């Protein structure tokens, strides 16, 4: 399509019809934009997906994230804590990268931090006191 529009543009330039040539420049640019903008289409599809506003244990403003991503990370954290009873945050993050990096369509590290803070704020998990690096454990609410 691009080649056809470009050829028509050259014909109009030779005929010195500037208004038609201008029209074909616009058509060429629009055709290139449509071919080179699959990300724009992808972003629009995310706009209709269900989101969740995360909480923060210190009462700071949370962030809106896609619920399907939240659920994947939440389930991973809870299942890992059920399996290990208690785990360091570093080990949790390393396991997340190992198990989720190939299939998760977001930044695994960022989502682990964000969802972990949300689960702490909701009382589902808690930090084990006096541990460094900090360790995590399920609460009785989970």
CATH 2.170.130 is right for the domain spanning 49-138: no
Q: How confident is the model at residue 140 (pLDDT cuts 50, 70, 90)?
A: confident
| Cβ neighbours for 74, distance < 8 A, ≥ 6 positions apart | 115, 118, 119
Look at residue 85 in the predicted model and tell me its pLDDT: 94
Segment 7-61, tens digit of pLDDT: 665 665 666 666 655 665 665 566 555 555 444 444 556 678 899 999 999 999 9
Look at residue 96 in the predicted model and tell me its pLDDT: 96
Segment 70-81, tens digit of pLDDT: 999 999 999 999
Domains of the chain, residue spans: 2-36, 49-138
pTM over the 0.85 mark: no
Cβ atoms of 54 and 62 within 8 Å: the answer is yes
Segment 106-124, tens digit of pLDDT: 999 999 999 999 999 999 9
> Is the Cα torsion angle 71, 76, 77, 78 positive or negative in sign?
positive
Look at residue 41 in the predicted model and tell me its pLDDT: 46
Look at residue 31 in the predicted model and tell me its pLDDT: 59
């Amino acid at each position: 399509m691009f080649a056809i529009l470009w050829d028509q543009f050259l014909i109009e330039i030779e005929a010195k019809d500037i208004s038609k040539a201008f029209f074909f420049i616009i058509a060429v640019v629009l055709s290139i934009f449509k071919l080179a903008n699959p990300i724009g289409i992808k972003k629009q599809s995310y706009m209709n997906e269900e989101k969740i506003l995360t909480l923060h244990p210190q009462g700071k403003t949370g962030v809106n994230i896609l619920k399907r991503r939240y659920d994947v990370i939440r389930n991973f954290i809870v299942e890992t804590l059920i399996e290990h009873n208690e785990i360091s945050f570093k080990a949790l993050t390393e396991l997340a990268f190992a198990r989720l990096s190939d299939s998760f369509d977001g930044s695994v590290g960022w989502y682990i931090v964000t969802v972990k803070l949300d689960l702490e704020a909701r009382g589902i998990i808690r930090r084990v006191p006096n541990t460094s690096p900090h360790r995590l454990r399920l609460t009785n609410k989970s």
